[in-house]
Amino acid sequence: DGLPRITSDLHELDNAFNDFEEQYGNPDVRVLALSLKEDILKIPLLGSSPVALTEEDRNKLFTQRLLDVSLRDANGYLVIPFSTELAQLSPLTRNHKVRHVEIDLQGVLLGDPTARAYLRMSGTGSVRNVGNDTDFYLFDSRLGVVNASVNGVKFYDPEVYRNYRFRDRPLVNTMWELIVNQRDEVVNQDLDLQSLTDIRVLIYYSDFTTF
């Protein structure tokens, strides 16, 4: 009796999946590109005058923030919190789930092509589902060690720079942390934080279009 029931349940599930695909199509892949300087730390465009700051002035403000001791954890790592929000995504899409993440370091004195940065997800995730309701999720904290590209150049196979530790978790989350470890991450010893002009966090995700 058990086998026919299981077969029937699988058939119903397959039909439901086919109906879903007919209505919403296949998932699309997109990217949420976040600039540490512009989107996370929000380095100002204007000075106190107010006069527009030069890019050199803004880079100095950026590196000053990176050297701020309040951004160091007990290990001496640079830790910068940020969140991702529904407002950053298209209002015509639903069910935003992470596929993989990449990180790109931008600057001048960044050493050889090998570098690493960490991402941690530890907050509350939310998903706007196809019914236009919001589902909330609380997962255990998870850390991803990301092989970072330098100035957009992927010296090795592109797959090396993709980290899948957060796959299928909600893209929208109240607490992410970008972490740079120069204390005991050997490949980062040749990085000069004062020469950084930006760090780009690229979160690739899937979604469905509902209209």
The answer to whether residues 119 and 171 touch, using CB atoms and an 8 Å cutoff, is: no
Task: Kindly indicate the confidence band of residue 17, based on its pLDDT and cuts at 50, 70 and 90.
Answer: very low
The answer to whether residues 156 and 122 touch, using CB atoms and an 8 Å cutoff, is: no
Residue 9: predicted pLDDT: 53
The answer to whether residues 43 and 62 touch, using CB atoms and an 8 Å cutoff, is: yes
The DSSP output letter for 36 is I
Task: Kindly indicate the confidence band of residue 138, based on its pLDDT and cuts at 50, 70 and 90.
Answer: very high
pTM higher than 0.85 for the full model? yes
pLDDT in tens, 146-172: 999 999 999 999 999 999 999 999 999
Which residues have C-beta within 8 Å of that of residue 201, sequence separation ≥ 6? 33, 34, 36, 40, 101, 102, 103, 119, 178
pLDDT in tens, 65-83: 999 999 999 999 999 999 9
The answer to whether residues 139 and 70 touch, using CB atoms and an 8 Å cutoff, is: no
Residue 16: predicted pLDDT: 46
